[in-house]
Amino acid sequence: MPTYRLDLAYDGSAFHGYALQPKLRTVQGDLEAALAPYTGGVPTFVAGRTDKGVHAAAQVVSFACPQLDTARVVRSLNAQLAPEIAVSAVTLVDDDFHARFSATGRAYRYRIRNAGVHQPLTSHIEWLVVDRLDVEAMHEAVAALIGEHDFAAFCRKTGGAPTTRRVEWVGWLRESDRAELAIGASSFCHQMVRSVVAVSVDIGRGRLNTVEMETILRSRDRSTGRGVAPPHGLTLSAVAYGEPLDRPDWVHRLPATG
């Protein structure tokens, strides 16, 4: 059967994460229900499962089914799934394409509103931190994460799954009353980005020194971390399939090779 790639974005506020869960509303559940009349209910595969409350600006799904009128399917999905989910494209791809296993890179953004009061229009996509943050110190600290490391101290354990990851670029930037983390890697383990944010914020508040990001990383001990930042500030911003991930010009990055 033909294989299709589906590109979508979603506001995760009202969902219990991406993946199917019994009796709970999930992005996958809504998407597969809307797709079923066209695909016959075939299983779908996703580039990165997002947790409850996490958003995606550029998520990718793949599935195999009989031939589709892709333009019609896109129109139908958007009519059914708006306003929380938007499908930008459904395209025919090579039979060996798999949204998860073919992906070579993923990028996330985490947004913080660093002000005395929340902004109602954006409070569902940013974490309000009222303490003044030293974002330059946070940016300096995350440089220790560049390269291939065991991120066990930053990852929620999931059985015996490996926790070694390769971070290609990472950095913090302040713009007015907003602080934003951008990070790109081959893949991420569970809660890794939100754990990095939690440590970064304690550094920004002055509760930890900048060198303690590296100390925690090298410990490989989850108990040395600082918990996790709230999920609603996190967005999956890009997935790459062979091509380099677009990166901001202000991040720390691995040196070019070759």
Structural tokens at position 216: 């925690």
Cα gap 179→26, rounded to integer Å: 29
Six-digit token string for 207: 């509760």
Cα–Cα distance between 107 and 153 in angstroms, integer? 20
Structure tokens that stand for 199 in this block: 């440590």
Q: Are 110 and 229 in contact (CB under 8 A)?
A: yes
- Cβ(110)–Cβ(233) below 8 Å: yes
**Do the Cβ atoms of 236 and 59 come closer than 8 Å?**
yes
**164 Cβ neighbours under 8 A, 6+ residues apart:** 148, 149, 150, 151
* Active-site annotation holds for 249: no
Handedness of CA 232, 182, 60, 99 (dihedral sign): negative
Q: What is the distance between the alpha carbons of residues 210 and 144, in angstroms, rounded to a whole number?
A: 9
Would you list the DSSP string of 177-239? TEEEEEEEES---TTHHHHHHHHHHHHHTTSS-TTHHHHHHHHT-GGGS-----GGGEEEEEE
CA distance linking residue 199 with residue 219, whole number of Å = 14
Question: Among 203, 202, 188, which Cα is nearest to 234's?
Answer: 188
* Contact (CB, 8 A) for 247 and 168: yes
Q: Please identify which of the residues 30, 51, 69, 202 carries the catalytic annotation.
A: 51
Catalytic (active-site) positions: 51
